[in-house]
Chains A and B, each alone.
Chain A
Amino acid sequence: MKQQKKIHNETKGPAKSAPSQKPPVNYKIGVSLLLTFVSVLIVFVFFNMGNNSIWFNDRIVKYWDDYNDQSTDDMSIEHRRIYTDNMNYIMSEGIAKSIPPKFRDSALILMPSQKYFRDRRINFHVPLPVVFYYYTGIKTIWANSKDAPKANMCFRIDNKGKAVLEKITDTTRLRAFIIQFNTDTYQL
């Protein structure tokens, strides 16, 4: 019982000294208004303090602007995914769509590294094979993997700057791509 009483007391909030007399209503309202003013002041000062102010303006205010745009914009899943992942998702989807349906299950695409795309002024952060699979349901492989020789397709940019998805049957050609791609480093 004593234990219960103790618990109950602890849940009641900050310790208060018991007033001998009940304070008048006006006093209570006055205190409440004063404390409300103090609360507003604290919030105001807090968000004008150095980094808090930068964070609030750069993040929260921006998020509010984003919200106003997004909530009135296209709410489809595809649009939202493109909005979030942008180039990586669009490129991955583009590559996947160029594969004929009958090859989709068996395709294993050899992907170049980021440096390869950067050198060609293409903003594409090559997704990990599992991420590419998550986006598209198509399997890819990086040239630095020991399983790279199992690839049966290769994604590359030709001399005219055009994206090409090439079906590979010639192992010598595949090996040449592996060597070319593997000289660049992949970035996680």
Chain B
Amino acid sequence: MTEILTIIGLAAIQFIIGLGILSCLNIRGKSFMRIALCILTGLMIFAIIPYFLQIIHLPITAANIAILITLAAVIANSQFKKSWRYLKDIIANIKLPKLYEIPFFLIIGFIFLMGAWRCYYEAPVSRDLTSGSEAIAEYTVKENTMINSVFTVNMDENNNIFKPPSVTSLQVIYKYAGFPFGQVWLINVVLCFLVFMYGVLTEKIHPILAGTLLLFLIAAPEFYAYSFMVLFDYTNTVFYTITCYFLYKFFTEKTANNLIFASIMGGFATYLRSETPILIGLLSLILLAYFIRKKTPFITMLWQGGLFLGVPFIFYFVTSYYYIHSLPIAYPVSDQINKKLGDLGPLWDRFSDINSKLLFCDFGITLYGYLIYLFTLFFIADMIFFFIPDIKKRKAVNKPIVYWLLAIATVYFGVAIIGFLLPLADLFNTTKRELFKLLPLLVIYLSFNRIVLAISKWIPV
């Protein structure tokens, strides 16, 4: 019981920190979606704190972390009246679920709870975690520094200690909070992500269809497994999806706050996986195309584009580049990069392997469920019944659909590019997990698909 209260208490503090940030940026959306975003934002601020203490050479103790968390909550809510108004707006707009949403909530809730229990009960097992972040976190708590005795152990055949300190930081905080295995922070991430996704889907389609699509997402077996087995990929997927969503909001609402929020989320995604700037770089091409099409003034283009790319790159330099160089063991990053960039054969090989060995095969169904096939079916149907006729009639293309297809393309091609640039990113481990980022984007695309929209309009509310 005490542990449940601790999880809720920490989530409440994360909410307060996130509330301050979201209210400053005036982020709009459904109430539950905003609550989820507040917690996710606050959680990533948590993830910065122990690493920040490390950078400024202060001992990573429970007291120092508590002081900085309090300070973060106060600074984030320095415009208290704004935060308060925002909170009142969230509460005023909370809507109770309809009866027909409940079967979906019950089954999704049950599946989520089974994962949450395992996340709490089981010790961290993934080798990537126990040979990296978890080991460092365990000894950080004992020795109050991230540069601890773990680095005196033989590290041959192990590069997991060089991964960004985001998960280490969260593990440290939750270990101090009384969870010897840490990792229960992932429960917050998963729950908030499901709430966020449901909010995004119900913006466009009927709750019954939104619930069905969410079922496809939660029942993607491999993706679900990482919802209780702590590693970087699930959380990275969450923040990359939010980045794509707020970039889309920037295009539709044309308000800079959405772009700023997308940039911050992109920064958080980078803090979780250092390869993310490659995908953000591809996303920025969509932004560039938007600027050109809208004939945006050069100065606006420069600051907005600079912001979107700059924040993730700052995160990359502070949390990956600087972190690696501050470690007592040398890690030649340049050695990890493919030296034969002129030879594009491996890029094609990786791309075709992704399709034949991971996505469109029986093994793919055991990894990602039927989502890939569902997407393909509706994508082709949309092409035949809407896209091609629109082109024939010289009608303007549906911009949201084009955007979400391009966002999907950033992952679909970007993951192959990552595999090509970094040969250590192997197909059946790294690439397999990198492809998680595809799943929520496919689900969001489906909510914009015109066949799905037609079905949605047909269902009474």
Q: Whole-angstrom distance between the alpha carbons of A7 and B208 in the complex?
A: 23
Q: How far is the CB of B439 from chain A (nearest CB, A)?
A: 15
Across the interface, which residues of B come within 8 angstroms of A56, CB to CB? 219
Interface code B201-239, partner A: CB below 8 Å = 1, 0 otherwise? 011111010011001000101001000000000000000
Across the interface, which residues of A come within 8 angstroms of B127, CB to CB? 128, 131, 188
Residue of B nearest to A88 (CB): B125
Given contacts A13-B202, A42-B208, contact A51 B365 (CB under 8 A): yes
In the complex, are the beta carbons of B134 and A134 less than 8 A apart? yes
Q: Which stretch of B66-74, B113-121, B382-390 is in the interface?
A: B113-121
Residue among A8, A16, A134 having the largest count of chain B Cβ atoms under 10 Å: A134
Q: Whole-angstrom distance between the alpha carbons of A103 and B176 in the complex?
A: 29
In the complex, are the beta carbons of A51 and B130 less than 8 A apart? no
Q: Which stretch of B8-16, B94-102, B335-343, B351-359 is in the interface?
A: B94-102
In the complex, are the beta carbons of A14 and B122 less than 8 A apart? no
Q: Whole-angstrom distance between the alpha carbons of A11 and B31 in the complex?
A: 9
In the complex, are the beta carbons of B460 and A130 less than 8 A apart? no
Given contacts A51-B370, A128-B158, contact A43 B104 (CB under 8 A): yes
In the complex, are the beta carbons of A141 and B121 less than 8 A apart? no
Looking at the complex, which one of B158, B160, B457 makes contact with A15 (CB distance below 8 Å)?
B457
In the complex, are the beta carbons of A64 and B130 less than 8 A apart? no
In the complex, are the beta carbons of B104 and A39 less than 8 A apart? yes
Q: Whole-angstrom distance between the alpha carbons of A131 and B160 in the complex?
A: 11
In the complex, are the beta carbons of A52 and B370 less than 8 A apart? yes
Interface code B171-212, partner A: CB below 8 Å = 1, 0 otherwise? 000000000110000000000000000000011111010011
Across the interface, which residues of B come within 8 angstroms of A83, CB to CB? 122
In the complex, are the beta carbons of A36 and B157 less than 8 A apart? no
In the complex, are the beta carbons of A59 and B221 less than 8 A apart? yes
Across the interface, which residues of A come within 8 angstroms of B211, CB to CB? 39, 42
In the complex, are the beta carbons of B212 and A46 less than 8 A apart? yes
In the complex, are the beta carbons of B219 and A46 less than 8 A apart? yes
Across the interface, which residues of A come within 8 angstroms of B30, CB to CB? 11
Interface residues in A51-81 by Cβ distance below 8 A to B read 51-52, 55-56, 59-60, 63-64, 66-67, 70-71, 77, 80-81
Interface residues in B149-164 by Cβ distance below 8 A to A read 149-150, 152-158, 160-161
In the complex, are the beta carbons of B131 and A131 less than 8 A apart? yes
Interface residues in A1-35 by Cβ distance below 8 A to B read 3, 6-8, 10-11, 13-16, 31-33, 35
Interface set of A (CB-CB < 8 Å, partner B): 3, 6-8, 10-11, 13-16, 31-33, 35-36, 38-40, 42-43, 46-47, 49-52, 55-56, 59-60, 63-64, 66-67, 70-71, 77, 80-81, 83-85, 89, 127-131, 133-134, 139-142, 144-147, 186, 188
7 tightest A-B contacts by CB? A35-B100, A134-B135, A63-B114, A39-B103, A84-B123, A36-B100, A81-B123
